[in-house]
Amino acid sequence: MKPEGKLMRALVYDKKLELQPNYPLHYTANEALIRVTMAGICNTDIEITRGYMKFTGIPGHEFIGIVEKANNTELIGRRITGEINCACHECDYCLNNLSNHCPNRSVLGILNHNGAFADYISVPEENLHIVPDSISDEEAVFIEPLAAAFEIFEQVNISENDMVVVLGDGKLGLLIAQVIALKTKHLTVIGKHHNKLQILDKPGINTIHLNETTDIEADIVIEATGSSSGLSMAIDTVRPKGTIVLKTTIAGYQNINLSKVVVNEITITGSRCGPFKPAIEALASKSVAVLPLISKIYTIDEALEAFEFASKPGVLKVLLKF
């Protein structure tokens, strides 16, 4: 049977989440067809169910799988993950090495492209990265969010003497903390869950519970709270002439007093996707530990239950196994 004639299990969002056991497999000829083996639920997926990006279709963009069909036959049978932005390669942004901001792009599971919460996903071959055997499927699911953490180094120069504060002890905050710790020891993570903060005890990262914070100031504040109040807290935490890196995506609008940003000449940098290569190297070298971030693993047939669990306060990474 040709790929486009197959049916597959898929978690579909169209005003509500629904697990469809006989969803038609759509395969694009210039893309690789990948059999998904494991995928991760992230906060963006949860925000999609609340209206973020007005997305309909199959969500999911953190995945590991096996290539079953590709124009590049050397990819067939290889274990891969994939970058999420699918660019046009013809616009001014693409021609100026800004393909992640291509106005014509689609984004896996987020914008005009089905994602990974299904038995199969179709992805441009240029987006694929081969995953070494030293990285387990459970670890490989973290490559995409870990790459987002490494993007900070592409945007902000962090030296070993910089005082850095990470706001948030969720999945992304804990990954960012481990990545930033590779550059500076003057790092503090502020969160509101003792059990999550304890994950950073082993790598020796300083943590403070939100209720115990004193007047702490930092040269660089990385906001990863997943909360509408995170940016306001970051503005109160950063020193004059300091930098805020904003990682949170929230479905909705916020009212924020920005006068302090002007008076203290604060730089605010939005930060999104990042380079896969250093993320893969960090997992292969075990310089970043991601397995402690896994709260629970479900099968794809339990996807609705998995989403409900992932949406609960205090839950870290929830994985779907195929």
Helix axes of 276-284 and 143-155: crossing angle, nearest 10 degrees: 120
Residue 283 lies in a domain: no
Whole-structure pTM value: 0.93
Task: Give CA–CA dist 285/279, Å, rounded.
Answer: 10
**Confidence (pLDDT) at 291:** 98
Residue 276 lies in a domain: no
- Tell me, yes or no, whether 130 and 207 share the same domain: no
Question: Dihedral, CA atoms, 115, 85, 286, 281, nearest 10 degrees?
Answer: 140
- Tell me, yes or no, whether 57 and 133 share the same domain: yes
- Tell me, yes or no, whether 306 and 212 share the same domain: no
Instruction: Give yes or no for residue 34 having a pLDDT over 90.
Output: yes
pLDDT above 90 coverage of the chain, percent: 88
CATH number of 297's domain: 3.90.180.10
Q: DSSP readout, 140-186?
A: HTTHHHHHHHHHHHHHS---TT--EEEE--SHHHHHHHHHHTTT-S-
Task: Judge whether 148 and 172 are in contact, CB under 8 Å.
Answer: yes
Q: Where are the alpha helices (DSSP H) in the chain?
A: 43-48, 92-95, 137-140, 143-155, 171-180, 194-197, 230-237, 259-263, 276-284, 303-310
Residue 280 lies in a domain: no
- pLDDT, tens digit, for every residue of 133-182? 999 999 999 999 999 999 999 999 999 999 999 999 999 999 999 999 99
- pLDDT, tens digit, for every residue of 87-106? 999 999 999 999 999 999 99
- Tell me, yes or no, whether 253 and 167 share the same domain: yes
Q: What is the mean pLDDT of the chain?
A: 94
Least confident of 142-156, 181-195, 237-251: 237-251
In the structure, what pLDDT confidence band is assigned to residue 3 with cuts at 50, 70 and 90?
low
In the structure, what pLDDT confidence band is assigned to residue 229 with cuts at 50, 70 and 90?
confident
Name the domain count of the chain. Answer: 2
**Confidence (pLDDT) at 28:** 86
- Per-residue burial over 265-280, b if 16 or more Cβ lie within 10 Å, else e, is ebebeebebbebebbb
What range defines the domain where residue 19 resides?
3-142+290-321
- Tell me, yes or no, whether 186 and 92 share the same domain: no
Backbone φ and ψ of 135, nearest 5°: -105, 120
CATH number of 259's domain: 3.40.50.720
